[in-house]
Structure 1
Amino acid sequence: MYKLMLSDLDETLLIDHHVPDFNIEAIKKARHNGLKFIPATGRAYNMILDVLKEIGTYEQAGEYSICFNGGLIVENKNNRVLNFKGLSFEQTELLFESAKNYDVCVLVFTLDMCYIYNANEEEVKRKIAQNAPFKVMDNYCIDHLKNEQIAKIIYQKSDMSYLKMIGQDLAKVIEGKAAVSYSSNRYLEFNALGVDKGYGLKWLADYLGIDIKETIAIGDNYNDVEMIKAANLGVCVISANDDVKANAQYVTKLDYDQGAVKEVIEKFVLEEK
């Protein structure tokens, strides 16, 4: 019996930043049958409150969220931080200054705020749609963040081949300093070394006393690979790239906007019951 299911949000659980009714109903049935359903996202906690309300876990004790690609794990009641693993200011500054060499929008996330540099209209609109607390910065400087808890830094450009080129360029610069992942066909993400969604899954399962054999994870992108590999049942959405699918034990027949999450819950959780 599966007791814990992690789900990516964008291009997996959500349609236009909201949980569709067919997924809401499936999640409710699964939770009624004892499944812990956990959003596992690159977003900040304050960016997923509407999602938690839609799935029924907002401000609920004993319900949890994994944010910043595993860098933050919270109990939803009172946003109680259980585990945080962020970047040092020095690590962030290295990546921030390196971004000057590339044509990218830069986003620096603290626990409570997203600071956007070299902002473009597309990304600003996306942050508005995500209900993200953000500030567009005029000066290219992060000195004001020296005493802040920094969760991650992102380079954004809607050109994945360009972002992967940057990742290769910086490989030696950041070796031993940060973890690298890609998401939503638009982001190159840098987290603290050792942080990924697989780390988040293992940490939370251990915290809850759930055997890894009782876990499912579903996602669609490169920042989901480690949790897909870590879970006993790793699932990939059908629209994902083939190199992401290669890590999964099961690939959905439905795309995310057709009910991929619903399909997995019905096939592996509800039918099992």
Structure 2
Amino acid sequence: MTDIEIKTRSIYDELSPAEQKVAWYFLQNLGSVFDDPIAVLAEKSGVSQVMWVRFCKALGFSGLKDMKKNLFFQLSQQRAEVSAPSMDFLDTRTYSSVDGIISGIEAGSLEAIRSTAQIQDASVIEEVAAKIAAADTVRLFGVGASGLVANDLYYKLLRVDVNAVFCTDLHVQLTYITAAKPSDVAILFSNSGNTTEILELARAARERGACVVAVTKYGANQLSELADFVLPTSSPELQFRSGATSSRLAALFVVDVLFTTLCNKNYSTVAKPLAESYSQCSKHHA
């Protein structure tokens, strides 16, 4: 999958209904984007040429020609043909069997991890890991499914003796943000990047001078704008979800990459607490 396809999926919810129709056609008919002029694309998709131009601009291009050029370049850089199964709206697809459910969830999970890996910036991950290592306190924030991801990082940081705080109770999060200071790192998790409570916490962290790190979906959103560093995620969930599935796995992947980088860059410091925590926990293994 190209970066353009990934970004299309990530910004889908932010597009107008007409632009979403263009995005849907684009994702389902990638080949015809090269073959057809804008007039034909407009006719086939049932959307005006103006909407096609707006869609391209929403992706950061000047127009369809610019988008085609970049898409061609990205496809030419890939070693294998784009042949992944369609992942659109997997969460609400009507499956005919449990085997179909297994295959669908597997495809969505693998695609989320692969596309999230594609958009990572190693230098940003290294810098965030360094900030965590130097921080007085790492303050973690997340609600709902994002809270589960924050909790996973919290447990990992405890194992390497990093002073971290997290509680799933939002009111407790609102309490410990008040103690944030410039020597702290605040890591906020929100798939949409527009969760009201998380945005409030991000603003509070900035006001207190803490380093703000956002783990959120790829593309423009309010949380990204408030953050000093963004660790983006991508998943095939486009619109309707019965629950966070592949988006949660994408965020957990980012957490694993960040934590492993932290340990790798500070191994002499983390080796002892890692060994001690393993030894202590192993006493309780059956």
Q: TM-score, normalised by structure 2?
A: 0.28
Q: Which has the higher strand share?
A: 1
The structure that has the greater radius of gyration is 2
